[in-house]
Chains A and B, each alone.
Chain A
Amino acid sequence: MSGAGQPLAVLVAKSGRTPTNLPAPPTAIERDMLASWKSGWLYWAGLIVAIALTVLGGWSYSVMLRVGVGITGLNSPVMWGSFITTFVFFIGVSHSGTLVSAILYFARSPLRASIGRSAEAMTVIAIMTGGLYPIIHLGHPWLFFWFLPMPNQRHLWLNFRSPLAWDVFAITSYVTISALFLYMGMLPDLALLARRVAGWRRVLYRVLSLGFAGTEREWSVYERAYPIFAGIAIPLAVSVHSVVSWDFAMGITPGWHSTIFAPYFVAGAIFSGIAMAIILLAGMRKGFKLQAHIRKEHFSMLGRLLVAMSLVMTMVYATEFFMAFYRGGATERDIFVWRISGPYAPIFWGVVLCNSIIPLLCFSPRVRHNLAAMVTIAVIVTVGMWFERFIFVVTSLAHSFNPAAWRGYRPTWMELFICLGGFGWFSTLFLLFVKIFPSVSVAETVQGQMEVAAPDDPEEAPHAG
């Protein structure tokens, strides 16, 4: 460690961070981080499966581009289906990352050091995935840039009354701020690890660290700037999903046209985002041997959040039904009755089981501390949330105002392949991210370890393995 009076030493004393411009012995987290990059067969198998799914989706999409959107199961009147479902799903998944990370930052929560980085990465990657689907879904996807407000020779501006135009702004803002937030948080780690690694990572980290040296001035600027990003990210996270919900709520389609949609979507997004975070963290903990840093108590905390959000979702479902009957419109009432009793009823009740009933198990501390159980519940919630979006997108369109236009919808295999491709693309990007970048915040862990008492679980003691 550096001597007193030097700027870096002050910083170390103040924040517990290791100055990066000094050769110091690697801390435990640094060693674990470096070790995590030596991946086992599980990682490579996962990556191959993810890439294979991406290729399958890409091939299916290439067929759709050549032949037409007709290879899907969409029809009149169900013009939106599994692509829009997948879009809403991934935008939902994106939610928890930046939002949770920013909230934890302001709460000065120790949880953040372990899960913040991967949650933020999940956000950026989920938007990169979800954002593709409205374009994939278009009849003329090659003209997607017409959604952007660009001066053009056609003298056409986009229609600012259309919620789809709002989407473009909401999503691009959110992905910009989330990416900056992720990058900013990673800056000290990149600077630090650039000294610990060799090869291409060293070059990459040196370039990306933008010359961050860990001086006092740098740290003070950093500490002032970081909360600004976090502060912008929180309302933006709420707004982006509200705007996505308006794609539906601003339409007059019964079953969509409801003021509850914005909070409903935000709650659903947090819910699905937490579930996805549990799955990813569990994978990292297992695959990268990060048991010391991603601990069971973290899962327990996520479990509490999960059950809280599940209760919110149940409340939302109940409110939707109440409003459908309270409002007095036969059309909307018919849709909700049809939703719970018609041909899509098994999916609806499955969604209720997945989202409202099974997560209640998380009330039990035993379940919350059982990693396998938590991952199972998270997978169930993830599936449940995809189908929840499917149900409200499809049933509302299929049973709208004009009974003569009613018709069901069933996705085709090609369509499902394109949706699976999204999951492959998401997983591929995430697996590449954790391989290339530090997936747990080194700087914050060091800081955190100086504040937090020794862990209660011997297995989770540093370097237990």
Chain B
Amino acid sequence: MDETKSNLSRRTFLGTVLTGSAAASLAGCSKKVPRYLVPDTIPSDDTVPGISRFYRTVCRECSAACGMTARVREGRAIKLEGNPKHPIGQGALCLRGQAAIEELYSPDRLGQPLVASPAGPAATSWDKAMEAFATGLRAAAGAHRQIVVLTRPERGALGSLFRNWLSALGQDGRQVVTFDAMESVWIREGARRAFGLDQHPVWDIARAKTLLSIGDDFLEDWGSPVEYARSLAEMRAGGGRCVYVGPRLSLTAAAADEWISAKPGSEGELVLGLARAALERGGPGVDALPSALRERLHGVLGPYTFARVAARTQVPEAQIKRLAGSFLGGRPSLCVGPGRAALGSDAATLAEAVFVLNALAGNLDGTVRFPTPSDEPWAAPSMTLDELATRAAAGEVGALVVHHANPLGHGPVFSRLREALGHIPMVAVLGNRLDETAQRAHVVLPDHHFLEAWGDATPRAGIRGLQQPVMTPVRSTRAAGTVLLDVARTLEATGLPDGAFDAVVLHSATTEDIERGGVFVEASPRAVALEATVLSRVEAEPSSTKDHPGALSLVVAPSVRYLDGLVPRGELLQEVPDPLTTIAWGGWVEVHPATAARLRVSTGDLVRVTTAAGQTELPAFVYAGVREDALAVPVPYATGLMGANVELRGQLAGARLESMGRKSSAALTVMNTSQHGRDLAQEVVGAAALPARPELPSMYDEHVHPVHRWGMAIDLDACTGCGACVAACYVENNLPIVGAEEVARGRDMGWIHIQRFVEGPTSNPRALFLPSMCQHCTNAPCETVCPTYATYHSSEGLNTQIYSRCVGTRYCENNCPYGVRRFNWFDWPRKEPLNLALNPDVTVRERGVVEKCTLCIQRIRGTKEQARIDGRVLKDGDITPACAQTCPSQAIVFGDLKDPASRVSRAASSGRSYRLLEELNTRPGLVYLARRREDVPT
């Protein structure tokens, strides 16, 4: 036996075995270890895994250019928030700003240059693409033809560069066409006629006592929606009132205190009627007029008596008198508009009338201001789109550089340009998407996403937001400015700065400016006075009031989701439902109940809308908030109905509707418009308080909240239903996009739903919005029925959901009276590289488990931890869930209900506060403040 005994001792044996297996497993691991765990956006010793960094930049989703803060984890931007130091957004972002992160990682964003080939655009290398671009430009210059830049509004370094670049290439620096489908050109024209200024004014909504909107959907129409929503809430909280005149109860009209549904096309009568009243009443605005002009205006405005206005607008005379009393009674007032919804044929004259009304009411230099214009090169006069089309058709244009503009996306609207493009030998597109215009390009040079590039944006004089890259580019893209500088060097142009575009931006910015997010100095206003020739083009009998017998007016409604009305690109923007109709994915046509009954159409039926320009098939949505003689279609889906309507005017006469006799697959998220007397969204009249409710007894032991009891207050009076909170929640909490079909089946995964109820008589409806999420009840019905304790009440008052304990009985959802819980019916995979946008602090839920709002528990825990590390006491306002953070009207407040001094406790003790379904005694941690409404006789 001894011979067989090995020298191998037990220890040696174990040691060998362990070393061997460890080596084997390490060898196995090494292949899977990624080479770069952390991308090199910033020096690696600066990046701490698990710690977020924040970079100030500017949102470029629309021309409002709100300040933005990007949250970056491990070198990847994962969440966008507002920049509190930026005067436009003041820390808030809209739905679209929240969704911008999706575009950054979108698999559909262009990732490499393309050149035209007979089989369509073909991928190529940057060298070849740049060579093709340079060749095209050289040919244009050689043939003595013009090089033109077609760009979205660029007011800043890039806008200046376009002009300098053209000059350096020997071209006229004014050959820049600024294209913005949403631009209110008629307002500039109105200002020119009224005051001799080609400028858009600044509306100071917050200061107004009475705000009158002439079809101006300022919460949706992308002038500056975040700023306006905040100002409106401030104004109304300060006792101001808002009146909306237009054919449709839009989001803006719903947020207003009164909606006057004047007959489409008659808005001008109303404005002139008010102007006449202002003139007769007198005051500083009238006194400031030269006597000759005053006499002239008496003559022009004389016919617009209240009786005539009432007859033309089909609005009761008493209502108009009340409006005049309120508008002229308390200064400063403000009349904004006209917006698209009020635009029939003569937009500029209506805009002019609005300016006259503001001048007579004494609002100039108060709520209507014209800031001193900039003397930067970008402010120089430029070419119009029409001019470009004419020159191109004449063969004068040798090369066109298109920068983030897609006029061809509007279908037949800009059809002249479509033909003209064929005459241009070199069309280069610097953009993000292979859109309709890029498909016609000879070379496509993909630009960085704005979160990857340097830049700046000036939404109005005095405000320069700085845009800095927050991460390394996701794809092989190049900054448009750098591409232009590079190609100019190839062409041996002189007079341009050396290096990349970054240096151009940074040239005039300090580190402090970048950390602040820009340079903000409000420009001083200019003194303006009415021109002597004002209102000389007013027609006594406007043609737009002519009736088309039997036909309906078509209202092209601006959309809070779709900006310029191009067919929407991101999935998140489509998944978040439209607040008014609650339809996600796809379009619809709004039909008045009486019209619907006459045509035998109900919500969800497929109908055909026909205008002189074309026809389209859409699902019907029966809505008392559109006039009986009108239909409303959201912008993207009205493209085929508008014809060559370059201004995208919102009123079209002569539309017809017919039922297709079958149901559509509309992705409706709320099937019901009435709250059936359930008092979910409550209202108070005037300054009244809600009746006190007795506390109900409970058979359960009271939950003990030793330190905190987190809660939230939502002010329905401030909420405009814009849906920014919904989008913020999707991004923050890794909510999946389920797609049109599943949303139509009732499987959307939103943790917040903007529930919309239409109350009041059909003749004078009101739309109420109720942001609905988990109510974090103290006596939560969901908690008692879960067999596995997957949902339970935390010591801080949160109703928590533990995904790994959930087996998916779905009993909790059945027992939730608010219906806010969501079940993962499937796994919802994310298309690469969209998974990079996932928030690493939040679990990605697997299929088969229930989820719901957590009040952003990851933020609560993170902030508490940070306070502990810093050795300080948590104070009110330290913790902000994603929804409250982004709310433009600051309707959502989060805090500790145990702290009587916290903002949320103060809101909870307001006379307007109530909790949902109080009679069930669930004792929610969410408090709602009732919407205030006027007791208007109807």
Contact = CB atoms under 8 A, between A and B. Distances in A.
Interface string A400-420: 111111111000000000000
Contact of A156 (B674, B746, B805): B805
Contacts of A406: 671-672
B785 A250 contact: yes
A388 B643 CA distance: 55
Given A69-B823, A251-B781, A138 B808 contact: yes
Task: Bin chain A's interface residue count.
Answer: 35 or more
Nearest to B770: A404
A161 B786 CA distance: 8
B886 to A, nearest CB: 22
Nearest to B700: A161
Nearest to B674: A403
B680 interface: yes
Nearest to A402: B819
A76 B785 contact: no
B747 A401 contact: no
A26 interface: no
A76 B815 contact: no
Question: Helix, strand, loop or mixed for chain A's interface?
Answer: loop
A162 interface: yes
A163 B809 CA distance: 12
B299 interface: no
A288 interface: no
Contact of B785 (A143, A162, A403): A162
A27 B810 CA distance: 56
Contacts of A139: 806-810, 823-824, 847-850
B920 to A, nearest CB: 7
Contacts of B822: 76
B365 to A, nearest CB: 45
A80 B809 CA distance: 9
B674 A140 contact: no
Interface string A216-260: 000000000000000000000000000000010011110000000
Nearest to A67: B826
Interface string A184-218: 00000000000000000000000000000000000
A371 interface: no
B788 A158 contact: yes
B787 A138 contact: no
A123 B902 CA distance: 61
Question: Helix, strand, loop or mixed for chain B's interface?
Answer: loop
A251 B810 contact: no
A408 B746 CA distance: 9
B811 interface: yes
B818 interface: yes
A58 to B, nearest CB: 19
A317 interface: no
A247 B680 CA distance: 27
A365 interface: no
B807 A407 contact: no
Contacts of A7: none
A346 interface: no
Contacts of A138: 807-809, 848
B818 A401 contact: yes
A364 interface: no
A144 B823 CA distance: 17
B785 A163 contact: yes
B785 A400 contact: no
B824 A331 contact: no
A397 interface: yes
B810 A79 contact: yes
A79 B772 contact: no
A133 to B, nearest CB: 12
Contacts of B776: none
A364 B817 CA distance: 47
A159 interface: yes
B280 interface: no
Contact of A75 (B746, B772, B826, B849): B746
A70 interface: yes
A143 to B, nearest CB: 5
Interface string A99-142: 00000000000000000000000000000000000100111110
Nearest to A248: B814
B813 A77 contact: yes
A146 interface: yes
Contact of B848 (A68, A157, A162): A68
B827 interface: yes
Interface in A126-185: 134, 137-141, 143-144, 146-147, 156-159, 161-165, 168
**Most-contacted residue by chain B among A68, A158, A164, A397 (CB, 10 A):** A68
A76 B819 contact: yes
Contacts of A159: 784, 786-789
Nearest to B847: A68
Nearest to B791: A159
Given A76-B822, A156-B789, A407-B671, A146 B807 contact: yes
Given A159-B788, A401-B819, 11 more contacts: A68-B847, A70-B825, A74-B825, A77-B813, A139-B849, A140-B807, A163-B785, A402-B917, A404-B756, A406-B672, A407-B671
8 contacts: A76-B747, A76-B822, A79-B823, A139-B809, A147-B807, A165-B787, A402-B772, A402-B819
Sorted nearest first, the 9 A-B pairs with minimum C-beta distance are A139-B808, A139-B848, A70-B825, A405-B819, A75-B746, A404-B755, A79-B810, A401-B817, A68-B826
